[in-house]
C-alpha cells in the first residue's frame, strides 16, 4: 500500500528543494565569476600546463591544432576547470550547509576535517603529478624523437592527458584519508589491509595499465605512488587503531 504524503510532510520537502536550488545557483554563480577571471588569464594558465612538456620539447617541435575551433575549446576547457577549482571552497561550503542540519554532532565533527584535509590531499596529488610525474612521462615520450621524427602534439590531446593525470593523482592521494575514516567506522582494519596486500598490488598495476598511456614506464611510474599510498594507508589505520585502544 502506497503511503500518501501529508501537507505537513510535503512542505519541508518543498523547502529543501528550494534550498537546494538556491545553493546550486550560488555554486553556478561562483563558478561563473571565477571563469571570467580564469579566461582573462587563460594564456598564463595555458603556459603553466604546457611548461612540463616545453621543458623537454626539441627545438623544431611545437604544438598544433587541427580543427578551427580547437584552440578556443582548449582555452575554454582550461578556464572552466580552473574556475571549478577556484570556486571549490564555495561549492564545498554550500554542500556542507545543505547537509549539516541532518548530521549528528559526531558526524559533523568528522565531516569538516574530511573536507579540509581532503582538499589538501587533492592539491598535493596534483602538485606531485605536475612536478614529478609529468616531467618524467613527457621526457620519456620525447626521447623517441629523432631527426626525421619531430613531436608535434595537438592541443586537445595534450590538455586532455594533462588534466586527466592531474585529476587522477589528486583523487589517488585521497587514499590515506579515506582509509583513516573507513577504519574509524569499522569498515576496514589493519589486519584486513595487510592480508590483502598482494591482491591490492595486483589491482594497482592493473589500474595503472588502464589509466595510463600504453607504455611500461608510465604504468610503473603510476603504480609506485599508488603502492606507496596503500602502504601509508595501512600505517595510518594501524596508528588510529592503537589510539582507540
pLDDT per residue as tens digits for the range 60-90: 777 787 778 888 888 999 999 899 888 888 8
Is residue 36 predicted with pLDDT exceeding 90?
A: yes
Percent of the chain with pLDDT over 90: 11
Q: Say what the pLDDT of residue 33 is.
A: 95
Q: How confident is the model at residue 28 (pLDDT cuts 50, 70, 90)?
A: very high
Is residue 10 predicted with pLDDT exceeding 70?
A: no
Domain assignment present for residue 1? The answer is no
Question: Is the domain of 155 the same as that of 45?
Answer: yes
Domain assignment present for residue 63? The answer is yes
Question: Is the domain of 67 the same as that of 147?
Answer: yes
Q: Last residue of a domain, which of 125, 151, 173?
A: 173
Domain assignment present for residue 3? The answer is no
Q: Say what the pLDDT of residue 103 is.
A: 66
Domain assignment present for residue 16? The answer is yes
Average pLDDT over residues 6-20: 67
Q: How many CB atoms lie within 10 A of CB 93?
A: 15
Question: Is the domain of 215 the same as that of 102?
Answer: no
Number of domains forming the structure of the chain: 2
Q: Say what the pLDDT of residue 44 is.
A: 92
Domain assignment present for residue 5? The answer is no
Q: Please tell me the distance from the alpha carbon of residue 171 to that of residue 167, in angstroms, as a whole number.
A: 6
For residue range 186-222, list pLDDT tens digits in order. Answer: 777 878 888 888 888 888 888 877 766 666 777 777 7
Question: Is the domain of 153 the same as that of 73?
Answer: yes
Q: Last residue of a domain, which of 124, 141, 173?
A: 173
Q: Say what the pLDDT of residue 39 is.
A: 93
Q: Please tell me the distance from the alpha carbon of residue 107 to that of residue 105, in angstroms, as a whole number.
A: 5
Q: Say what the pLDDT of residue 101 is.
A: 75
Domain assignment present for residue 205? The answer is yes
**Residues in CB range of 124: below 8 A, 6 or more apart:** 173
Question: Is the domain of 200 the same as that of 181?
Answer: yes
Is residue 2 predicted with pLDDT exceeding 50?
A: no
Q: The dihedral of CA 187, 191, 197, 198: what is its sign?
A: negative
For 243, the domain range is 174-245
Average pLDDT over residues 147-163: 82
Domain assignment present for residue 2? The answer is no
Domain assignment present for residue 67? The answer is yes
Q: Please tell me the distance from the alpha carbon of residue 219 to that of residue 239, in angstroms, as a whole number.
A: 31
Q: Last residue of a domain, which of 147, 173, 199?
A: 173
Q: Say what the pLDDT of residue 171 is.
A: 85
Amino acid at each position: 500500500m502506497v503511503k500518501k504524503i501529508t501537507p505537513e510532510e510535503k512542505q519541508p520537502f518543498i523547502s529543501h528543494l528550494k534550498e537546494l536550488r538556491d545553493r546550486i545557483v550560488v555554486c553556478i554563480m561562483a563558478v561563473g565569476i571565477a571563469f571570467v577571471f580564469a579566461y582573462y588569464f587563460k594564456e598564463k594558465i595555458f603556459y603553466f600546463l604546457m611548461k612540463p612538456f616545453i621543458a623537454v620539447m626539441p627545438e623544431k617541435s611545437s604544438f598544433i591544432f587541427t580543427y578551427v575551433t580547437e584552440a578556443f575549446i582548449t582555452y575554454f576547457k582550461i578556464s572552466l576547470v580552473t574556475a571549478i577549482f577556484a570556486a571549490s571552497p564555495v561549492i564545498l561550503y554550500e554542500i556542507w550547509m545543505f547537509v549539516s542540519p541532518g548530521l549528528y554532532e559526531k558526524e559533523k565533527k568528522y565531516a569538516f576535517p574530511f573536507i579540509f584535509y581532503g582538499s589538501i590531499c587533492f592539491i598535493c596529488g596534483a602538485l606531485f603529478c605536475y612536478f614529478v610525474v609529468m616531467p618524467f612521462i613527457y621526457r620519456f615520450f620525447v626521447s623517441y624523437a629523432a631527426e626525421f621524427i619531430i613531436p608535434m602534439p595537438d592541443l586537445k590531446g595534450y590538455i586532455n592527458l594533462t588534466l586527466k593525470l592531474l585529476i587522477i593523482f589528486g583523487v589517488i592521494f585521497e587514499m590515506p584519508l579515506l582509509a583513516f575514516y573507513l577504519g574509524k567506522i569499522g569498515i576496514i582494519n589493519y589486519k584486513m589491509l595487510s592480508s590483502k596486500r598482494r591482491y591490492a598490488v595486483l589491482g594497482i598495476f592493473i589500474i595503472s595499465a588502464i589509466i595510463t598511456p600504453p607504455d611500461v614506464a608510465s604504468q610503473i611510474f603510476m603504480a609506485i605512488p599508488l603502492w606507496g599510498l596503500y602502504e601509508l594507508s595501512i600505517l595510518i589505520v594501524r596508528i588510529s587503531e592503537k589510539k582507540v585502544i
